[in-house]
Amino acid sequence: MMSYELVHTFPHEMLTSTQNDTCISLYQPTYRTGNEQNIIRFKNLTNEIEQSLKSRLSKQALDERMRPFQEIMNDREFWRSTQEGLAIFSSSDRCIVYFLQRPVKEFSVVANCFHIKPLIRVYQSADQYHLLGISRKEFAIFIGTRYEIEQINMPPHILSTFKDAIGEDYEEKVVQATGGGPNNEIRMHGQGSRKDIIQKETKKFFRIADNEIITYFSQPMRLPVILVALDENQAMFQEISKNKYLQQQGIKADYQAMSLQDLQEAAWEVLEPLYIERTQELVQEFETAKANSYGSDDISQIAKATVEGRVRRVLIEADRVYPGKVNKETGEITEDKIEHPDIDDVFDDIAELVYRQKGEVVVIPKERMPSTTGAAAVYRY
């Protein structure tokens, strides 16, 4: 019996492998509270999928394909664990689920390949970043762009507080370690002064926090991480961290005393030079490639080069849809009408093919694109 599995990394081999199958893709924004509303919206999307599949599958095959969706709908623990969005991809023998750390547009599609462009934007957006607010007692993760920031609803399995990570409240741990004598300076079992114990216990928590952040946020999404912490904690965490995405320049402040707008403005002040430098590099490389005939913004040319395995990197405009499909043998484009939920997207087909051939796909905002066509490719040769 096919069930579903939760995954944390992209790209997943199932999404970019050759499919001779009926592929189901579902995207849904989810709310931090109000599970019933999330389930109702999910039910409506699955009803659309079921209606689309009725003309393609037998009754028995249809029931089998819809089984993981029924399991998800009835799994209360599943809905208590959701974050800001949900993505589900189901083939005839496998169903994988992503809990997304940013909202996505509600969308479902049944086609001969998976619709992955919204997932690309979640995992590889050029202007996104993580903001890490940390104190001795807990940490919080925010996800932001130039224009917005929001706190991520922390899943229960993540050790985000000192108590979760170490097993006791911070104050209790320090009191037990120091003995709580006059001036809190009693030494116990050779452990040192209260200050020594505080530093030791804080470092222990910071190491655990760093590992949690790397495992559940930085490795899957590969975004720059900006640290927000008081001066002493800032230096300590920077020294301990093994996160290659952590930026050297942080924000020296108490994140809990800052509004979302304050955090967003402070974070973008740190990130903007990096973002501008990165996008300028991408644009300059494309323009140089185009001038030397190993790059193009012509969609038909890009599609043909893609199926030939010649695309090293493609820039795709966020939120732009080109209704149609790419013939994965010839590269020819067939235009189509948007008929939800059976829509196909040329840009999505190109992204899938580039990923399959180990190329790079970067989804960036319209205002940063070096072309007006919605795509810009740099060729391998």
Query: Domain containing 207 — which CATH number?
Result: 3.30.420.60
Could you tell me if 146 and 187 lie in one domain?
yes
Q: For residue 24, what is the domain's CATH number?
A: 3.30.960.10
The 3-state DSSP class for residue 379 equals: strand
- Domain membership flag for residue 280: no
- Domain membership flag for residue 353: yes
Could you tell me if 147 and 269 lie in one domain?
yes
> What residues have CB less than 8 Å from 160, skipping those under 6 apart?
138, 139, 140, 154, 209, 212
Could you tell me if 147 and 253 lie in one domain?
yes
Could you tell me if 194 and 138 lie in one domain?
yes
Q: For residue 306, what is the domain's CATH number?
A: 3.30.1330.30
Could you tell me if 269 and 150 lie in one domain?
yes
Could you tell me if 139 and 155 lie in one domain?
yes
- Of 220, 242, 275, which marks where a domain is finished? 275
- Of 212, 247, 275, which marks where a domain is finished? 275
**Structural domain boundaries enclosing 333:** 293-379
Query: Which tokens in the block code for residue 9?
Result: 């990394």
The pLDDT, as a whole number, for residue 184 is: 44
Could you tell me if 152 and 260 lie in one domain?
yes
Coarse DSSP helix, strand, coil percentages of the chain, rounded to the nearest 5 percent: 45, 20, 35
The pLDDT, as a whole number, for residue 342 is: 54
Query: Which tokens in the block code for residue 85?
Result: 């969005």
- Domain membership flag for residue 287: no
The pLDDT, as a whole number, for residue 186 is: 41
Could you tell me if 169 and 149 lie in one domain?
yes
Could you tell me if 135 and 186 lie in one domain?
yes
* Range 73-81 contact pairs with CB under 8 angstroms and sequence separation of 24 or more: 73/39, 73/42, 73/43, 73/46, 76/35, 79/35, 79/38, 79/39, 80/35, 80/156, 81/155, 81/156
Of 376, 363, 354, whose CA–CA distance to 308 is shortest?
354
Residue range 290-334, pLDDT digits in tens: 999 999 999 999 999 999 999 999 999 988 889 888 998 999 998
The pLDDT, as a whole number, for residue 350 is: 94
Residue range 18-76, pLDDT digits in tens: 566 889 999 999 986 667 899 999 999 999 999 999 988 899 999 999 999 999 999 98
Could you tell me if 219 and 160 lie in one domain?
yes
String of DSSP letters for 187-236? --TT---HHHHHHHHHHHHHHHHHHHHIIIIIHHH---EEEEE-HHHHHH
Distance CA 153, CA 231 (A): 26
- Domain membership flag for residue 283: no
- Domain membership flag for residue 94: yes
Query: 353 forms bridges with which residues in the sheet?
Result: none
Show the low-confidence residues of the chain (pLDDT under 50): 182, 184-190
DSSP 90: E
Q: How many CB atoms lie within 10 A of CB 229?
A: 24
Distance CA 99, CA 90 (A): 15
Domain count, the chain: 3
Could you tell me if 142 and 271 lie in one domain?
yes
- Domain membership flag for residue 286: no
- Of 246, 275, 304, which marks where a domain is finished? 275
- Domain membership flag for residue 282: no
Is 217 in contact with 8 (CB distance < 8 Å)?
A: no
